[in-house]
Amino acid sequence: MRQLLLSTLCWLLLQPCVAQVRPATPRQLFPGLFEAVQLSHVFTDGKTFVDATPLQPPATILAAWNAEKQRPGFDLRQFIQAHFQLPSTTAAEYRSTVSRGLHHHLDTLWTVLQRPATGTVPAYSSLLPLPKPYLVPGGRFREVYYWDSYFTMLGLREAHRLDLVRSMVDNFAFLIKQYGFVPNGNRTYYLTRSQPPFFSLMVELLAQEQGDTVLSRYQPQLLQEYAYWMQGADSLARGHAIRRVVRLPGGELLNRYWDSSAEPREESYAEDVAAAQASHRPAPEVYQDIRAAAASGWDFSTRWFGPAGTLSSIRTTALVPVDLNCLLSALEQSIARSYAVQHNKSQAQAWQKKAKLRRKAILRYCWNPQKAWFTDFDWQNNQPAAVMTLAGVYPLTFGIATTRQAQLVAESLQKSFLQNGGLQTSLSQSGQQWDSPNAWAPLQYLAITGLNRYHHVALADTISTRWVRLNTRVFQQTGKLLEKYNVINLTLPAGGGEYPLQDGFGWTNGVLLDLLNRPASKTQ
């Protein structure tokens, strides 16, 4: 109880830092015009317009639009091009010289993907300023992304760019202080949600290189992020949820993904409106579940869908995700370590106790004995979710699984998930990008790390070898590293999703360099 009071006090003390007026989003700045642009598909990618920079004040642009839109021959696309600076994609214009090799390509990409500190941004831009340099993923992703950045940092460490690692950690600390949490990305339209909470792992990564005093330096932000995820927990009744917290039947507290808006995503406005129209549920519920899936980083996967298996059946907020809760356990342990560094034994023990209670709850609710796999927990129906995905490796990555559970997960990985190019994301071929046959660098890394942790080294090396070979082969053929890969048919590209396959690509680069540099790996 004392610790809960201290956490609440910390949260209250930090509130003045975040009690600012948030900048307006594109839809708020351009009512009517925004909907016209997005619903008429002026641009094939809905993100293009929300990333565009207005060339005049919104009132001026809206007045011109209202005056011109009824005129014969009015062209909305030409109007937007005349009144907005459309975004460019530097990384998309970059082409590597394959003959110079993969390592040279990776070294060059750190420069291509780097963006300078932005103390100020153009008036009415959706971009949020950041005080220090950072890396973007690449392609259409022109801003920093929360969970992507951890895997990019793995590569920066291998490239001996600790200056950029420190800069990016400082940027995330700045965002937490400024807004009370780390937004999905540094855009105004992302200020209603976060992403998988990897900040504590970023801090730990920097501490491994610069010493444990790093934990003390970022302790205020670690505590503030924890308060964000746990907001409303103290008064929550069993079997109920509020924001990002769920109190389960046994009284345990676990977390879910949540977005505070119940409107269509501005960057995918037309797609969300169509999904809601195809559903029999109230549109705000559909929008909130779509946004919650975006907060998970898995947008989209049958992991989040109802029995219909379609986007319109999405029910993300009904699920307690196993991966999210493993990350929050890691956050609790990092906070405990930060107190231990300060020789505050009582607080260190209190936070370790939180982590132990969360581990116990994860094992109770997310271990699915029928599947012999870790799945999400459907708290609304009080039963394990049926869909098996690579999120089930997180309890191995973070040391939460028992030895027997890790053995069973390893067997299922070998039997069901392992393909010629690495691990497929799920066992469902739905056409969604976070399902089979697609594979993603962060999930390969987490699976390899978890298997090594439980001494399943041969399988870890097999996954690593196949993934590195696939990445290398595609690079040699195209001069690119990609956002995601097809690991079943190695001659076909990955597909699905709301946008074309992107190249760049921050987290692919980071994981690949980490795997290439592992001395014990068979990928060398």
Any idea which residues carry the catalytic annotation? 299, 483
The residues facing 319 across adjacent strands are 378
The residues facing 423 across adjacent strands are 418
For residue 234, what are its two tokens?
């103290």
- Interatomic CA distance for residues 325 and 258, integer angstroms: 14
CB 512 within 8 A of CB 481: yes
For residue 417, what are its two tokens?
């998930």
* Coil vs helix vs strand at 54: strand
CA-wise closest residue to 254 among 355, 335, 361: 361
Place of tokens 């016209």: 36
CB 87 within 8 A of CB 48: yes
DSSP symbol at 345? H
DSSP symbol at 30? S
* Coil vs helix vs strand at 115: strand
CB 481 within 8 A of CB 475: yes
- Interatomic CA distance for residues 100 and 106, integer angstroms: 11
Contacts of 138 by beta carbon, 8 Å cutoff, 6+ apart: 89, 91, 92, 109, 112, 113, 483, 502, 503, 504, 505, 506
The residues facing 123 across adjacent strands are none
For residue 76, what are its two tokens?
């909305």
Contacts of 108 by beta carbon, 8 Å cutoff, 6+ apart: 94, 96
Please state whether the peptide bond connecting residue 196 to the residue before it is cis, i.e. omega within 30 degrees of 0. no
Classify residue 120 as exposed, middle or buried by CB count within 10 Å of its CB (0-12, 13-18, 19+).
exposed
From residue 102, how far is each of 98, 479, 480 by CA, in Å? 7, 9, 9
For residue 484, what are its two tokens?
């995601």
Q: CB atoms < 10 A from the CB of 237, how many?
A: 9
What are the percentages of helix, strand and coil residues in the chain, rounded to 5?
55, 10, 40
Q: CB atoms < 10 A from the CB of 472, how many?
A: 15
CA-wise closest residue to 492 among 446, 444, 429, 447: 429
CB 222 within 8 A of CB 199: yes
